[in-house]
Amino acid sequence: MRFERREEVSLPALILAPLGAVLAALVLCAGLIAMAGVSPWVAYGEMLTGAFGSRLAVTETFTRASPLILTGLAAAVAFRARLWNIGGEGQFYMGALAAAALGHSALVGWPLPLAWVALAVAGMAAGAVLLLVPAVLRLRFGVDEVVTTLLLNFIVLLFVGLMVEGVLKDPMAFGWPQSVPVAAGLRLPDLVPRSRLHVGIVLAVVVVLVVWLVQARTVFGAETRAAGLNPRAAAFAGVPITATLVKVALLSGGLAGLAGAIEVLGPVGYVTTTLSPGFGYAGIVVAMLAALHPLGVVAASVFVATVFVGADAMSRATGVPSFIADVIMAVALLAMLVALLFTTYRVRR
């Protein structure tokens, strides 16, 4: 068996690949659901109603999707340049901490749009700096960034614990380890009244469009692509690889940090060590399912949010452990890898 690179990847193939991967994941996981003694049809039906069956369910699904869009985008822009940023979780928390710290009192009284911009910038800066460290370690010392970004996730989570039990501890929280809350006036407005869905999702989609334009239309976008495809050839052609990777790191870390800031300013209002149910890690799956395309990230985020929100409801209704959501994600990721292979290569016997 041999693989031959296809001349070009057709658009239908690019759209069919993720659909096929998701379908394959659902079929494979049906067996695991059946092992629980529950009909997969019933389980998947409950999952769908759990995610879209009511007004509350729909808003909850999109509330869950908004941080995923940004953490997914963060992974996608980095992976595109073959910068393996697995630290989205840590960057998310750093952004959240920055937003909580400044949003509690420092920026109260600022004109509103300006305060929001400042908080967003602070969140992005916190996330960006966190990824800058592994990026520099790789560029200067050749340290693999997969391991460093991952280890930083553990360090950051402990740091969050330190903060919410220490300097940022909310004295009004009856001893619960949670951070001081964001001032009520600085919280992002709701998009749908009487729900947790807030303007964060609009913001996230706007950011996606901006990143898409940057990738498609600017020199930086072209340099990123070149650095990802063949760094040696790109360097020979005069692409400043180091500078490009540093910029990509700042962008990627910044996006994940922004996700954390928005989550704190929007639906949650404060930081705890359980603020993220793994948004950073799920972002990696989102990015892969999207084939690293910014627009695909939105669709993939909605799918992932559907599975997670739906799995909770399904678990309550049928007793199938909600860990099935993580299994579906993981199988979809592996299936997508294979699907992508066949969109870019053809098999020769």
Partner 1 sequence: MMEAFDILATASLWSAVLRIATPLIFGVLGALICERAGVLNLGIEGIMTMGAMVGWLTVYWGGDLWTGLAMAVLAGMVMGWLHAMLTVPLGLSQHVSGLGITLFASALSYYLYRLWVEVGDLPPTIEPFQPWPVPILSDIPFVGEVLFTQTPPTYVALILVALIAWMLARTPLGLALRMTGENPHAVEAQGLNPVRIRIWAVMVGSGIMALGGAFLTTAAFNSFFPGMVQGRGWICIALVVFASWRPGKALIGALLFALFDAFQLRLQTVVEGVPYQLFLMAPYVLSIVALILVARRARVPEALMQPYRRGER
Residues in the site for partner 1, rule: CB under 8 A?
1-3, 32, 35-36, 79, 84, 86, 137, 141-144, 146-148, 150-152, 154-155, 158-159, 161-162, 165-166, 281, 284-285, 288, 320-321, 323-324, 326-327, 329-331, 333-334, 337-338, 341
The DSSP H or E segment spanning 346 is: strand 345-348
| Closest CB to partner 1 among residues 128, 164 | 164
Distance of CA 341 to the CA centre of its chain: 23
Q: How far is the CB of 186 from partner 1 (least distance, A)?
A: 28
Q: How far is the CB of 191 from partner 1 (least distance, A)?
A: 31
Give the Cα separation of 120 and 238 in Å (integer): 34
Q: How far is the CB of 158 from partner 1 (least distance, A)?
A: 4
Give the Cα separation of 282 and 336 in Å (integer): 14
Give the Cα separation of 155 and 139 in Å (integer): 22
| Closest CB to partner 1 among residues 36, 108 | 36
Q: How far is the CB of 160 from partner 1 (least distance, A)?
A: 9
The DSSP H or E segment spanning 185 is: none
Give the Cα separation of 13 and 299 in Å (integer): 16
Helices (H), strands (E): how many in the chain? 13, 2
| Closest CB to partner 1 among residues 265, 307 | 307
Backbone angles phi, psi at 5, to 5 degrees: -70, 130
DSSP three-state, residue 11 = helix
Q: How far is the CB of 75 from partner 1 (least distance, A)?
A: 10
Q: How far is the CB of 334 from partner 1 (least distance, A)?
A: 5
Instruction: Give yes or no for a contact between 339 and 110, defined as CB atoms under 8 angstroms apart.
Output: no
Instruction: Give yes or no for a contact between 180 and 270, defined as CB atoms under 8 angstroms apart.
Output: yes
> Which amino acid is residue 94, in one-letter code?
M
| Closest CB to partner 1 among residues 221, 278 | 278
Q: How far is the CB of 338 from partner 1 (least distance, A)?
A: 7
> Which amino acid is residue 84, in one-letter code?
W
| Closest CB to partner 1 among residues 219, 337 | 337
DSSP state string for 116-138? HHHHHHHHHHHHHHHHHHHHHHH
| Closest CB to partner 1 among residues 158, 219 | 158
State the Rg of the chain over Cα: 21
Give the Cα separation of 329 and 325 in Å (integer): 6
Q: How far is the CB of 320 from partner 1 (least distance, A)?
A: 8
| Closest CB to partner 1 among residues 166, 185 | 166
| Closest CB to partner 1 among residues 244, 315 | 315
Of 60, 124, 109, 103, nearest in space to 265 by CA: 103
